[in-house]
Structure 1
Amino acid sequence: MGSIRFEGVGKVFGNARTGFKALDDVSLAIGEKEFVAIVGPSGCGKTTCLRMVAGFEGVSAGKVLVNDRPVVRPGADRAVVFQQFALFPWKTVRQNIEFGLRNKRIGKDQRDHLVAGSLKLMSLESHGDAYPHQLSGGMQQRVAIARAYVLDPDVLLMDEPFGALDAQTRVVMQEELVRLARVNPRTVLFITHAVEEAVYLADRVAIMSRRPGTIKEIIDVKTVRLAERWDGHERIEDVMDLESFVHLRTRIWKSLREEKAEIGH
């Protein structure tokens, strides 16, 4: 399982009548093992949508459902990867990854087995005893992703997870996430400001309007990718040269520019 649904979702921060209206009538369905990226102008409510699915924020109107059940609190069926790595600096890589397993009271033998598999999945086998400060930013984010995956969540929520990385490391991590999605797929809701990143990673890209945010348009990337035989094995710099990639990127940028132009008026 791993479906996500927004049904007419609204969000007001503060007083219902005079407060800050962040979202208005957001509706979006994400299927099992589908990768959906959300892009939109700054302040449009992208992260608020993710926090609602995570159970960190409640709705003011409508419903957010995971596996057809309304979200009322955080749960083990969802894991979150943030822009900041949020690792415990006093714990080793292995200890960081197993933290959630300890909280679930999983026995040591099973913990060791699961952590070993997660280290291998993220190519971290030789770094299990290292501390976060001994790792590069990209390696730290690998640990954060491993910590999420080891819990075997139905849904992976990623809030600009590569936003704090340098350009070269960001590309490496994008390619790594594509590889990971092939070998161990999950339902993914991915928040980003980077249009190229959204097109490269996602099956569909949801474009949000300016505040109060709503879903303005949904672009089907997967169908184009299959038609072009772009199967995810290509490096991102090769994909970016494809005519289909350029067309999708231009279409999304045009839609975003329309929102920014409206803000200017």
Structure 2
Amino acid sequence: MGVIRFENVGRVFGSKAKPFVALKEIDLEVQDKEFVAIVGPSGCGKTTCLRLVAGFDFPSSGKVLVDEKEIRRPGPERAVVFQQFALFPWKTVHDNIELGLRNQNVARSEREDRINSILELMNLTRYAGHFPHQLSGGMQQRVAIARAYVLDPDVLLMDEPFGALDAQTRVVMQEELVRLARKNPRTVLFITHAVEEAVYLADRVVIMTRAPGRIKEVLDVASIRKSENWDSYEKIEDVMDLESFVHLRTHIWRSLREEKAAQTA
């Protein structure tokens, strides 16, 4: 199970004399194997939310729980994929993917079985012996995702994972992630600045306010995707032409524009 729950979460940085309130009164539940994307203005606390779930940071008030257990540290049931690929340049694709399994003391035979399975799933088998510098940015990020998936986590935390990629590669990786999520679903908390990406990938999109970050609105994309059978379209550009997609995208953009205008007023 991979249920994430924020209970009246707040996060304050800085000193008592000069506090910065990053998050305020965050209440959100992400269901098991649900894909939730968070969007919002820069500085609204999106990444702070992800760091709280990862166990890299802790709330100033309230609680963050996974499967009813309060998060107090990083754990193997939660894997993180960052914007920067964070691959070890001196290790091959195989060895980069293997590293987390070694740290968990997984037996060698099981390691190899799991690595071979994820290499095949991610279409990386032919690149197992390559080093990161021999791969494109998209391929390196594919390795980073494979390294997270091979740990068999309940929760996958993705912090703008495609932000460093060019536009065409980004689209390919979005389609790849959709394919992967269908074959091997996980609970995903996905941080992004890209509205189209959020609508295309997520079951629900959480819109946050300007700082201090609150949840402004949660949009149910999954019911629209199901009713209009988005999954029958193979390419993202086909989905993006649909009236329902355009409506959701426009609604989110307008909401974010409101927050940006208030932020600079």
TM-score between both structures, scaled by the size of structure 1: 0.98
User: 1:155 aligns to what?
Assistant: 155
Instruction: Confirm whether residue 140 of structure 1 aligns to residue 156 of structure 2.
Output: no
User: 2:168 aligns to what?
Assistant: 168
User: 2:61 aligns to what?
Assistant: 61
- Compared with structure 1, are the counterparts of its residues 231 and 10 closer, same or farther at alpha carbon in structure 2 (3 Å cutoff)? same
Following the alignment from structure 1 to structure 2, what is the Cα–Cα distance between the partners of residues 231 and 95? 34
Contact 1:5 1:27 in 2 (8 A): yes
SS of the aligned residue for 1:164 comes to coil
Q: How does 1:20-169 map to 2 (within 5 A)?
A: 20-169=20-169
Following the alignment from structure 1 to structure 2, what is the Cα–Cα distance between the partners of residues 217 and 90? 44
Instruction: Confirm whether residue 196 of structure 1 aligns to residue 196 of structure 2.
Output: yes
User: 2:211 aligns to what?
Assistant: 211
User: 1:245 aligns to what?
Assistant: 245
Contact 1:179 1:232 in 2 (8 A): no
Once the two structures are TM-superposed, the CA of residue 232 in structure 1 deviates from its matched residue by 6.1
Contact 2:233 2:239 in 1 (8 A): no
Kindly tell me the number of residue pairs found equivalent between the two proteins: 265
- Compared with structure 1, are the counterparts of its residues 47 and 183 closer, same or farther at alpha carbon in structure 2 (3 Å cutoff)? same
How large is the RMSD of aligned CA atoms in angstroms? 0.9
User: 1:9 aligns to what?
Assistant: 9
User: 2:221 aligns to what?
Assistant: 221
- Compared with structure 1, are the counterparts of its residues 264 and 203 closer, same or farther at alpha carbon in structure 2 (3 Å cutoff)? same
Code of the residue aligned with 1:55 in structure 2: it is: G
Give 5+ residue unaligned stretches, structure 2: none
Code of the residue aligned with 2:235 in structure 1: it is: R
Contact 1:178 1:232 in 2 (8 A): no
- Compared with structure 1, are the counterparts of its residues 12 and 105 closer, same or farther at alpha carbon in structure 2 (3 Å cutoff)? same
Following the alignment from structure 1 to structure 2, what is the Cα–Cα distance between the partners of residues 213 and 135? 37
Once the two structures are TM-superposed, the CA of residue 82 in structure 1 deviates from its matched residue by 0.1
SS of the aligned residue for 1:263 comes to helix
SS of the aligned residue for 2:189 comes to strand
Following the alignment from structure 2 to structure 1, what is the Cα–Cα distance between the partners of residues 18 and 208? 23
* 1:198-247 superposed Cα distances (whole Å, 9 cap, x missing partner): 00000000000000001110000011111111126421000000000000
- Compared with structure 1, are the counterparts of its residues 189 and 80 closer, same or farther at alpha carbon in structure 2 (3 Å cutoff)? same
Code of the residue aligned with 1:194 in structure 2: it is: A
Once the two structures are TM-superposed, the CA of residue 37 in structure 1 deviates from its matched residue by 0.1
SS of the aligned residue for 1:9 comes to strand
Code of the residue aligned with 2:12 in structure 1: it is: V
SS of the aligned residue for 1:138 comes to helix
SS of the aligned residue for 1:120 comes to helix
Code of the residue aligned with 1:156 in structure 2: it is: L
Q: Which runs of 4+ in 1 moved over 4 A?
A: none
Contact 2:199 2:248 in 1 (8 A): yes
Instruction: Confirm whether residue 230 of structure 1 aligns to residue 230 of structure 2.
Output: yes
Give 5+ residue unaligned stretches, structure 1: none
TM-score between both structures, scaled by the size of structure 2: 0.98
Which stretch of structure 1 is more off in the superposition, 119-128 or 232-241? 232-241
SS of the aligned residue for 1:174 comes to helix
Following the alignment from structure 2 to structure 1, what is the Cα–Cα distance between the partners of residues 232 and 254? 25
Once the two structures are TM-superposed, the CA of residue 15 in structure 1 deviates from its matched residue by 2.5
Once the two structures are TM-superposed, the CA of residue 20 in structure 1 deviates from its matched residue by 1.3
Which stretch of structure 1 is more off in the superposition, 8-17 or 207-216? 8-17
Following the alignment from structure 2 to structure 1, what is the Cα–Cα distance between the partners of residues 59 and 191? 19
